Structure 1
Amino acid sequence: MPRDLRKARLWFTPLVALVLASAPGLPQAREAGARRGQVDHDGALQAFEQGKVLRLETVLSEIRKSVRGEVVGIALTNGGESGEWVYEFKILAPGNLMVEVYADARTAAILSPQGRR
């Protein structure tokens, strides 16, 4: 077996094992997200088509005016009975500060920024 192929196999095999080992937990993770009010892609599209939420790009442009850094996570949640749609952004700000910014998905108004190192 060629040397390069052996090296590739050394890191590829554990990677495949890791992916396969984590696969059984995916349905539970989806259920946990649904319990917290997180919306899947289809739900987000439906909310957009019904005029309940703005385009992600629109809300992101407002967020970037207020918070510097790299967006590393985005979630869309529905407040349940209140019907309030909220985008949650996780932003890695300068100085390795992780900032969570919540924005009204209908108006793009920033609701509350929170930061932690």
Structure 2
Amino acid sequence: MRKHKPSPGKTAAALALVALIWPLGAGAGDHDRAREARERGDIKPLEDILPGISRLYPGDIVKVELEREDGRWIYEIKLIGKDGRLVKLDVDARSAEIIEAEGR
């Protein structure tokens, strides 16, 4: 089995994508609450979570959103797997636990 090592370029691209997408889907208040949650340590930075995701689900990340659901922060990550299929992941932003995976 070949190991997939996440490239810094893919991580940087995903972070840039988040910077573009996140403000479009959230109001200024949501953005501030998410930033404050990160500063308090309530959520892990995306750059800490993506390497683990890339090891388990190799492919190209195409979209990331951070949302508040049922009292907890969730990273919603969409990626195109090595087989070309779309994979949707819900990841607990505090623990980095994958809550749900579709399309694998």
Superposed, which structure 2 residues align to 1:55-94 within 5 Å? 55-79=45-69, 82-94=70-82
Q: Distance in 1 between matches of 2:96 and 2:52?
A: 7
* Structure 1 moving runs of 4+ over 2 Å: none
Q: Distance in 1 between matches of 2:26 and 2:35?
A: 16
- Counting matched residue pairs gives 80
- Partner secondary structure for residue 96 of structure 1: coil
Q: CA deviation at 1:34?
A: 4.7
Render the CA deviation track for 1:53-96: whole Å, top value 9, x for unaligned. Answer: 001111111211210100010000011xx321100111011222
Instruction: Compute the RMSD of aligned alpha carbons.
Output: 2.2
Structure 1 stretches of 5 or more lacking a match?
Answer: 1-29
Which one has the bigger helix percentage? 1
Counterpart code for 1:53: I
Partner of 2:13: none
- Partner secondary structure for residue 95 of structure 2: coil
- Partner secondary structure for residue 62 of structure 1: helix
Counterpart code for 1:114: E
Structure 2 stretches of 5 or more lacking a match?
Answer: 1-23
Counterpart code for 1:56: L
- Partner secondary structure for residue 54 of structure 1: coil
- Partner secondary structure for residue 44 of structure 1: helix
Partner of 1:8: none
Query: Percentage identity across aligned positions?
Result: 34
Tell me: higher relative CO, structure 1 or 2? Use CA pairs within 8 A at least 6 residues apart: 2
- What TM-score comes out, normalization by structure 2 length? 0.67
Partner of 1:43: 33
- Flag the structure with larger Rg: 1
